[in-house]
Structure 1
Amino acid sequence: MTKTGPALAALAVSAFAIGTTEFVIAGLLPELATDLGVSIPSAGLLVSGYAMGVVIGAPLVTVAVSRLPRKQALLGLLVLFVAGNVTSAVAQGFGVMLLGRVLAALCHGAFLGVGSLAAAEMAGAQRRARAIAAMFTGLTLSTVVGVPMGTFIGQHWGWRVTFWAVAGLGVAGMAGIAALAPPMRALASSNDTAVFRRPQLWLALAMTALGFGAVYAPYTFIAPIMTTLAGYAPADLSWLLIVFGVGLVLGNWLGARAADWRLMGTIIVLLLALTALLLVFAALPSVVTLFALGVVAFATVPAFTSRVIATGGGTTQASSAAVAAFNLGNASGAYLAGLAVTADGYTATSWVGAAMAVGGLGRVSDAA
């Protein structure tokens, strides 16, 4: 087990690349739209197309790699990820660009699902949530470092350079996993999909979608919330998002340790805290409440993921379904918040989030 730390670091580098390619597109939409000859709203399909690729690809691609040992599966998924980003980097038209985005997204859910199981296997049962959090640290750091850096690179040297850089990170992750990860058992047994007959697994997935979707309801509209409601200048958004990202990293670290100590108790406390915090954020959006929201938001990630893995019997399908549930929550939270903005303005987005968090608590009650 001497290589566990470096192997987890290789998983984190890969997760960093995946998180960067998912979120950096928002900062590059104007440049992409101009170069590809489409409108900015049409270019927005590169965001939603990626999200749908994650939701659909997580279970399907996981089935495709389900007979492979975990290390080989991770390497194969990163080949797909690199291919998707290279396709985006060389795309001369919108259709090819969208194809590259979808290819990269197909890797996303399966990699994080398989990677969560690999991290848990390497670390052992007593440190499972902390090992998962170590991998997801790469995902959280991508919001603090990768996205701003990728946007800066794209705005100064062209968006294609950004995608080449992300592809390079994918290659680095592959090299690290190949050299440092120990041999691991095959992913699945013949009964891998039978776990979806378990009601407790579906309750855990619903709790994950509702609980994390609660965060994305206000986060989707964080720019107008912080400028229109909180009174910050548009130029302040960059450092405000960095503060939020630091909160995500801290929350991921704290939530992992709490989940390893007492999983269901941690989930209940976090969902209660999230509900209360969203109501406070609705009344008083500020840098302090934004930071606190970031902490609580990502403290839920290792807890939700560990709960899904536990109820799914440690299967790859269940772990990948957790990633799909997170992304389904993101999409539904953003959609419901958009309806709320139309009806009642930006403050209502936090009310939607609080309602979703209460819904997540209801699923905990059902699971008890």
Structure 2
Amino acid sequence: MRARSIAAALPSGSARKPVLLLALGTFALGTDAFVISGVLPRVGADLGVSLSVAGLLITVFSGVYAVGAPVIAVLTGNMCRRRALLIAMSVFVLANVVAAIAPNYAIMVVARVVAALGAAMYTPAASAVAAQLAAPQERGRALAVVLGGLTLATALGVPLGTLVGQAADWRTTFVFVAVLGLIALVGLARSLEAMPSTGVASLRQRIVVAGTRGVPSSLLATALSICGVFVIYTYLAWFAGLTAGITGSLLTVVYLIFGICAVISNLVAGVLIDRMAPAKVAVISMAGLMVAFLALSALARLGTPGVVAAVVLCVIVAVWSLLGWMFNPAQQQRLLGVAGPHGPVVLSLNASALYLGQAIAGVIGGVLLTSGPSVLPIAAVGCEVLAVGAMLISARRTARPVVPAAEPAATPA
């Protein structure tokens, strides 16, 4: 029964194999974006930089992705989709090979910039190809599978990458990611035929949609909420070691708990969104994050590294992930309601806001590291409070949503 249900979730016919390969590509990208958190202390020590400076590697990746995704989408809008995918994944694989052999921090930064550019080019192209490959009645399924690779990366890719990096060497983690990308690249090169582009929204169209009433404050809420999450997640390996004594391969357990709960949270969010207003689900998520972050701060202040502290930390991480990962599905649903026919464009803007929040988080967390582990969760709470404020402003402004009528409907992202 389980095998049948999984098969039913996939598109049928000739689209199935390439869609799975596209999902493998997003799995590799998602793993690459987040896995460095689990090996960050080792990366910093090996490259001769402080933990806060090493954390900027996440800031660089996320910042380049946030800015690069919409720009690259426009610049490559008329390129054959197959060609765009293969170029993007080739760049991504090469960047991770360079990261694996980087002799110093400067080369590592360059590798992360190039990897982010590859990822920023790949994800929109993969979504477009999945929609073209699948039959009209299966397009939603195909897109869910491809974008599900990012969620699965959090649940499985990051813990595996962390285990590899802790058991062997952090450089092996990037070899692991490069191999995943290479498998996807070879598979896509063999299974995809030339596919013309269906076009993308121009920068002008994106700017117009970004100015829709309620959208700017919604995007600000996304950036702030994700910033709060990543202020701690970026330095989670460091935090777990100091507060609970969890180091080495045991870190895999923490990331595995976080990832599995993220998948569960996404499923729960879908059910809740069908039963209550998406804005309410988003606010519940952020309120839950505040409670979890306050608990982390209390653990850092009162706890003594050991078995009890380790168990408590794992429980808090589970609650954090279960509640926190409800935010983005709810926010996406809100934005679709606000943007109307411009939904694909506003969702791409939301993705950029998400990565921008991650980028800012790396800087904030790095500055606060010297203040001790109890301070980071308090900063995260502050981000969530501001995010709730932005959400309330957005809700007021979208009470009577007004969508610009001058732009064409169903503009591709």
Q: State the TM-score, normalizing by the size of structure 2.
A: 0.72
Query: Are 1:97 and 2:111 matched, yes or no?
Result: no
Q: Which residue of 1 aligns with 2:299?
A: none
Contact 1:312 / 1:318 at 8 angstroms: preserved in 2? Answer: no
- Which residue in 1 is equivalent to 2:403? none
Distance in 1, matches of 2:81 and 2:277, equals 29
Change (3 A) 1:280 1:225: farther
Tell me by how many angstroms 1:70 deviates.
Answer: 3.5
What is the deviation of 1:152? 3.4
Aligned ranges 1:164-203 → 2 under 5 Å: 164-179=175-190, 186-188=197-199, 191=202, 193-198=204-209, 199-200=211-212, 201-203=215-217
Cα distance in 2, alignment partners of residues 297 and 123 from structure 1: 32
Cα distance, 1:306–1:7 mapped onto 2, change above 3 Å: farther
Within 5 Å, give how 1:59-98 maps onto structure 2: 59-98=70-109
Matched residue type, 2:222: T
Q: Percent identity?
A: 29
What is the Cα deviation at residue 40 of structure 1?
4.7
2:334 aligned with 1:322: no
Q: 1:277 to 1:334 in 2, by over 3 A?
A: farther
Map 1:239-278; keep pairs closer than 5 Å: 239-256=253-270, 261=274, 266-278=277-289
Q: After superposition, what is the alpha-carbon deviation per residue over 1:34-63, rounded to whole angstroms, capped at 9, x for unaligned?
A: 554555544444332222222232223222
Question: Is the 8 Å Cα contact of residues 279 and 351 (structure 1) preserved in structure 2?
Answer: yes
Equivalent residue letter for 2:388: V
- The CA RMSD measured in Å over matched residues stands at 3.8
More displaced stretch, 324-333 vs 286-295? 286-295
Aligned partner letter, 1:295: L
Compared CA separation, residues 361 and 133, structure 1 to 2 (3 A): farther
Structure 1 position 291 matched with structure 2 position 318: yes
Gaps of 5+ in 2: 1-10, 297-311, 400-413
CA contact (8 A) 2:228 2:381 kept: no
Q: Give the structure 1 partner of residue 301 of structure 2.
A: none
Instruction: Report how many aligned residue pairs link the two structures.
Output: 363
Cα distance in structure 1, aligned partners of 2:46 and 2:315: 39
Q: How far, CA to CA, are the matches of 1:126 and 1:267 in structure 2?
A: 25
Cα 1:123–1:307 shift into 2, 3 Å? farther
Q: Determine if contact 2:159/2:253 at 8 Å carries over to the other structure.
A: no
1: distance between equivalents of 2:332 and 2:126?
Answer: 12
Letter in structure 2 aligned against 1:234:
I
Equivalent of 1:354, from 355, 363, 384? 384
Whether 1:140 and 2:154 are equivalent positions in the alignment is no
CA 1:142/1:224 → structure 2, altered by over 3 Å: closer, same or farther? same
Q: Which has the larger radius of gyration?
A: 2
- Displacement of 1:347 after TM fit? 5.0
Identify if the C-alpha distance between structure 1 residues 66 and 318 changes in structure 2 by more than 3 Å, giving closer, same or farther. Answer: farther
Distance (whole Å) between structure 2 residues aligned to residue 243 and residue 121 of structure 1: 35
- The question of whether the paired residues in 1 share the 8 Å contact of 2:221 and 2:391 is answered with yes
Is 2:381 aligned against 1:367?
A: no
Q: Indicate if the aligned counterparts of 1:248 and 1:298 stay in contact, CA closer than 8 A.
A: yes
In the alignment, structure 1 segments of 5+ residues that lack a partner are: none
Contact 2:335 2:343 in 1 (8 A): no
Q: TM-score, normalised by structure 1?
A: 0.79
Output one character per residue of 1:209-234: Cα deviation in whole Å (capped at 9) or x when no partner: 23433433454565677677xx7443
Counterpart CA distance in 2 for 1:302 and 1:4 is 26
Deviation at 1:89, TM superposition (A): 2.7
CA 1:102–1:291: 2 relative to 1, 3 Å: same
Contact 1:209/1:326 (<8 A) preserved: yes
- 1:359 and 1:207 mapped to 2: Cα distance? 8
- Report the Cα distance in structure 1 between the residues aligned to 2:264 and 2:362, rounded to whole angstroms: 24
Q: CA deviation at 1:81?
A: 0.7
Does the CA contact (< 8 Å) of 2:289 and 2:381 recur in 1? yes
The amino acid across from 2:157 in the alignment is G
CA drift at 1:102: 0.8
Deviations 1:183-239 (A, max 9, x none): 7551525746323212235454334323433433454565677677xx744356542
- Contact 2:37–2:236 (8 Å) recurs in 1: no
